[in-house]
Amino acid sequence: MTTVDPNRDININVPVMVRVEGEGALEFTASEGNIENLHLKIYEPPRLFEKFLEGENYTEVPTMAARICGICPIAYQMTSIRALERLFGVDPGPWVHDMRRVVYAGEWLQSHALHIHLLATPDFLGYDNAIAMAQDHPQTVKRGMKLQALGNDLLSLLGGRSVHPIGLRVGGFYRAPEKREVADLVDRLEDAVEDAIGVVEWTAGLDLPVDNQAFNCVAIRHPNEYGINEGELVSTQGQRVSFDSYSERFKEHQVKHSTAFYSTLDGESYFVGPLARVNLNFTQLPKEIQNLCNDLNLKFPSNNMFDNVRARAIESYYSVLEALRLLRAYKRPRQAYVDVTPKPGIARHATEAPRGVIYHEFKIDGNGKVQTASMIPPTSQNQASIEANLKNAVLEYGLDHPDDELRMLCEKIIRNYDPCISCSTHFLNLTVHRK
What mean pLDDT do residues 71-89 have?
94
Output the pLDDT for position 429.
Answer: 43
pLDDT in tens, 87-116: 999 999 999 999 999 999 999 999 999 999
Compute and round to an integer the Cα radius of gyration of the chain: 22
pLDDT value, residue 39: 84
Q: Report the share of the chain in percent with pLDDT over 70.
A: 93
Helix (H) or strand (E) holding 295: helix 287-295
pLDDT in tens, 30-58: 888 888 888 887 776 677 888 899 999 99
**DSSP H stretches of helix in 296-377:** 308-328
Q: What is the mean pLDDT of residues 317-336?
A: 97
Q: What is the pLDDT of residue 325?
A: 98
- pTM of the prediction? 0.91
Half-sphere exposure of 147 (CA within 13 A, CB side): 36
Cα gap 371→332, rounded to integer Å: 37
Please report the DSSP string for 354-420 in residue order: TTEEEEEEEEE-TTSBEEEEEEE-HHHHHHHHHHHHHHHHHHHH-TTS-HHHHHHHHHHHHHHH--B
Give 151's Cβ-side CA count (13 Å radius): 29
Task: Give the mean model confidence (pLDDT) for residues 173-181.
Answer: 95
Provide the β-strand partners of residue 363.
Answer: 346, 372
What's the pLDDT at 162?
83
- In this prediction, residues 172-196 reach a mean pLDDT of 96
Give the strand order in the sheet containing 10-14: 10-14, 24-31, 34-42
Share of the chain above pLDDT 90, in %: 64
Per 3-state DSSP, the chain is made up of helix, strand and coil in percentages (nearest 5) of 45, 20, 35
| Region 200-229 average pLDDT | 94
Encode pLDDT of 339-350 as tens digits: 999 999 999 999
Mean pLDDT of the chain: 90
Contact 368, 342 (CB under 8 A): yes
pLDDT score at 19:
59
Most confident of the following: 12-16, 351-355, 429-433: 351-355
Pair 265, 217: CB distance under 8 Å: no
